[in-house]
Amino acid sequence: MAKIIAGVGTSHTPAIGAAVDNGKTGEPYWIPLFKGYEPSRKWMEEVKPDVVIMVYNDHVNAFDFKVIPTFAIGCAEEFPIADEGWGARPVPAVKGYPEFAAHLVQELVLDEFDITIVNEMQVDHGLTVPMTLMFDSPKEWPCRVIPLAVNVVQYPAPTGNRCYNLGKAIKKAVEAWDEDLKVVIFGTGGMSHQIQNRRAGLINKEFDARFLDGLTRDPEGLAKIPPIEYLREAGNEAIELVMWLIMRGALGKDVEEVYRFYHVPASSTGVGNIILETKEFHEQRKGKVAA
């Protein structure tokens, strides 16, 4: 049976991708950020998931304003990299898992989550920057990826509570797939940031720290944060953090926080990274290390 073994929360700031693509990671501005992700990459290298479910948002690249799906799952064989306006990032195309994705959609719709099915789409920095941060720059990505795009561009994004519950449904749907797969789910975007109007540049470190604490210890509490609180306290674009709650919902009640990193700034963003292992997977891994 397929199993979600862990969740990764990470920001997806486009400037991080640009820093990698333009060979700037050794510059003083970027050194602390990439150093902070080293343990995460090492963890990923050890864990070697078969499939990543990538919860992210499209930034007006795959979807224009003709159709705005709240939740959409990519069911394609392959997802090309979008040209967002400065040329496509020089990273490998993302390989999907159409059979597994189709199964997830089917289960989720029957579980009363109305998922939009996407059979062709390009993916933008929202998906590729987390891949780069966690997997570095391989010639081919080492696992298959199922993109789950969430609308956070046009208000309202789905509520934190809705997202948390979708996560729970994803856990069930994954476990109903009869193939031994190690699945890691990503929640991406955020943390505090605003990239528009006079308040641009807003960062709220206390909010971000509380969010990371809550993710580990009190996700039910976090799921109750209303949209206005994200917008007001952490910035207009911080609403992206609801996507981390999908990831958290998919991990079950108890988790083990195995890594956390926070850094300001990447461009206009407070960057957060957290790795949460499910209790079951954590015990297994501890056992292996001891043996």
Partner 1 sequence: MTKTPEYEDIPGTTVFDAQRARKGYHLNQFLYSLMKAENRKEFRAGEHKYLMKFPMSEEQRQAVMKREWNRLLELGGVSYALAKLAFTDEHSYQYMAAEMTGMTQQGYLDMMVAGGRPIEGWRSKKARGEA
Which residues are identified as catalytic?
A: 125, 193
For residue 48, report the phi and psi dihedrals to the nearest 5 degrees.
Answer: 45, 70
Contact call for residue 198 and partner 1 (CB under 8 A): yes
> Quick one: 19 or 51, whose CB is closer to partner 1?
19
Contact call for residue 195 and partner 1 (CB under 8 A): yes
191: preceding bond cis by omega (within 30 degrees): yes
Q: How far apart, in Å, are the Cα atoms of 171 and each of 38, 51, 79, 174, 291? A: 28, 14, 24, 5, 29
- Report the site for partner 1 in 60-119 (rule: CB under 8 A): 60-61, 64-66, 82-87
138: preceding bond cis by omega (within 30 degrees): no
Q: Which of 3, 18, 136, 142 binds partner 1 (CB under 8 A)?
A: 18
> Quick one: 57 or 165, whose CB is closer to partner 1?
57
> Quick one: 125 or 248, whose CB is closer to partner 1?
125
Contact call for residue 232 and partner 1 (CB under 8 A): yes
> Quick one: 58 or 107, whose CB is closer to partner 1?
58
Least distance to partner 1, CB of residue 47, Å: 32
**What DSSP line would sit under 42-109, residue for residue?**
HHHHHH--SEEEEEE---SSS--SS---SEEEE--SEEPBP--SS---SSPPEE--HHHHHHHHHHHH
- CA-based torsion, 134, 140, 142, 145: positive or negative: positive
Contact call for residue 236 and partner 1 (CB under 8 A): yes
Contact call for residue 15 and partner 1 (CB under 8 A): yes
Closest CA to 94 of 121, 65, 134, 62: 121
> Quick one: 89 or 103, whose CB is closer to partner 1?
89
Least distance to partner 1, CB of residue 249, Å: 25
The residue range among 210-218, 233-241, 242-250, 273-281 that interacts with partner 1, by the rule CB under 8 A, is 233-241
**What DSSP line would sit under 131-198, residue for residue?**
HHHHH-S-SS-SSEEEEEEE--SSSPPPPHHHHHHHHHHHHHHHHTS-S--EEEEEEES-SSB--SST
Least distance to partner 1, CB of residue 204, Å: 5
Q: Which of 102, 209, 231, 258 binds partner 1 (CB under 8 A)?
A: 231
Contact call for residue 49 and partner 1 (CB under 8 A): no
Instruction: Tell me 258's DSSP state.
Output: E
Interface contacts to partner 1, rule CB under 8 A: 14-15, 18, 29, 59-61, 64-66, 82-87, 153-156, 192, 194-205, 207, 227-228, 231-233, 236-237, 264-265, 267-268, 270
